[in-house]
Amino acid sequence: MEAIARLIAAEAAAAAEAGTTTGDGLTAMGAGLAYGFAAIGPALGIGNLVGKSVEAMARQPEAAGMVRTTMFLGIAFTEALALIGFVVFILLKFA
Amino acid sequence: MSTPVSPLGSVLAGQAPEVSISRDLVKRGLFAAPVVVLGGFIADSGAGAASAGFALALVLLNFSLAAGLIAITAPISLGLMMGAILFGYIARLGLITVAVLLVKDLSWVSIPVLGGAIIVTHLGLLFWEMKYVAASLAFPGTKPNKPYLSKSRPPDKHQAKD
């Protein structure tokens, strides 16, 4: 416990020396969380989407063209969510 | 009784519809480029225009990479395609991040315009393409010149009777 408290105190002193505030730290944390969480949802979505598409293509190979078409568009739409998270990250961090 | 076949071991032969779609998306993106750049210019003059152009290029590259990955891996195995799509998603997200981090400090970059243009062009192009694809899937007869929409269509029963 004492070691952690000492570490936090040292970090706070270093931050004060560098001229950063708690607000800056929270912004950086928020940016990281926004990007990280925004990437998790689409990853699950794409996994589910592709899994079901593979199943559909294996069941009905004659419909593979249609399934692949809709799968590709589905992937791109799902990925848009991650891109929104990324844009929130760059806006919070660099704008 | 037929022997069960693993879907992951199956392969997909024939044309890759993703390549046709991504080519279509790139074509539409190039058509829309002047409007996107003009929008960026209105938002933040020269830096905005350059950022909007850069964002459009990133989005088009992202679509092309996604389509290329599927087209290359699908004829090998569906399992590989699945893996390539999932890891490709992370890799492409990383590539976009690296590309933006590399240019973020340059004088011609406007971060708000860059971010906004990435979202607007990505979604805009997708909705534009989706409108076309949805209509073609619902009424395949209306778009006979697109092979990726009509090739896999099963033969019409009514037509066979005639």
Disruptive mutation site among B122, B152, B153 for chain A (greatest number of A CBs within 10 Å): B152
Disruptive mutation site among A71, A83, A93 for chain B (greatest number of B CBs within 10 Å): A83
Q: Do B17 and A69 touch (CB under 8 A)?
A: yes
**SS3 per-residue string spanning B115-141:** HHHHHHHHHHHHHHHHHHHHHHHHCHH
Tell me: the pLDDT tens digits for B34-83? Answer: 999 999 999 988 899 999 999 999 999 999 999 999 999 988 888 889 99
Looking at the complex, report in whole angstroms how far the Cα of residue B157 sits from the nearest Cα belonging to chain A.
15
pLDDT, residue B52, reads 94
**What residue spans of A19-63 are helical by DSSP H?**
22-59
Q: How far apart are CA B133 and CA B108, in angstroms?
A: 37
Per-residue pLDDT averaged across B95-106, rounded? 91
Tell me yes or no: is domain A2-94 CATH 2.60.120.260: no
Q: Quick count: other Cβ atoms within 10 Å of Cβ A19?
A: 7
pTM of the predicted model as reported, rounded to 2 decimal places: 0.78
Low-confidence ranges of chain A (pLDDT < 50): none
Q: Quick count: other Cβ atoms within 10 Å of Cβ B19?
A: 17
pLDDT, residue A17, reads 76
